[in-house]
Structure 1
Amino acid sequence: MKKLMCPKCIERLRTEQYRHREYRICFYCEGLWLNHAQISEHGILIEKEKIGDTKLSCPSCEDVRLELVSSNGVQVEECPQCHGAFFDKNEIDQFYRNYQSVDSKELAADVTNGVFKMIKFSSTVLGIFRTITRLSP
């Protein structure tokens, strides 16, 4: 499986399982990458408007720049080729508030209540490990 890199901070996106679903998460900036199948399954970003271009690269496609799109008051970066989308942490919160379908609310709740709790725990452990290794003689 191809290692996907976060378009924001260029760290490796981690695959996390929660409620039998896979999520691609950045442990550093707490961003979320959803592929086109996940977006379609949950009925999000159906009606969208392109706002502009970004300098961010798509984690899935090579040499494709993400576009900034707006949908239901939420601005996210979307790939014009594979139609995957990257959500910043604050965009996940907006997404939860603005989307009304049951599927999209369930996805947002899974991410904010389950996946990000795992990230915060893992990030804390990672931070402690880094501190210990720096302090070791």
Structure 2
Amino acid sequence: MIIYIIVENITTSRNVRGNSLSNNTITRGLIGIIVIIFAVFFVVQNYVYDSGNRFEDTLKVIMDEAKKENWEMAQQKEEEFNKLWLNGKYLIALNNAEHDYSEMKDAIEVLRSSIEIKDRNRAVESANRVMGHFINFKKIVPEP
């Protein structure tokens, strides 16, 4: 009996509205749009940063060269890394809290300056910090 009343209410409400869109149609459409936006966002982020793991691989090379105190190569790789960062930093800013983004930016600045002053320990530490932030940023739901 209850099911009959519910079905009858649904059919009469459709008849009253005529050709207008139902709430279900609008909701499904909005959910579809949101899913598409997220999918496009993560595909673009993946293309910018994970195409061949350039971001992580460049950081690893910087760490290795800093450990060997090969500062010319570390400087060169840091410049490559900075280009990658500049290409996609706004994607990270969109998906993460301002505080996390600022910490990443600060760690990158420390990395750059430690390579300039040839401070091995600080360069490796800041590269590890940048790597940790980046791994967290790639997640769909980043950790605090």
Normalising by the residue count of structure 2, what TM-score does the alignment of the two structures yield? 0.27
Whichever structure has more helix as a proportion of its residues is 2
Normalising by the residue count of structure 1, what TM-score does the alignment of the two structures yield? 0.28
Asked which structure has the greater CA Rg, the reply is 2
Whichever structure has more strand as a proportion of its residues is 1
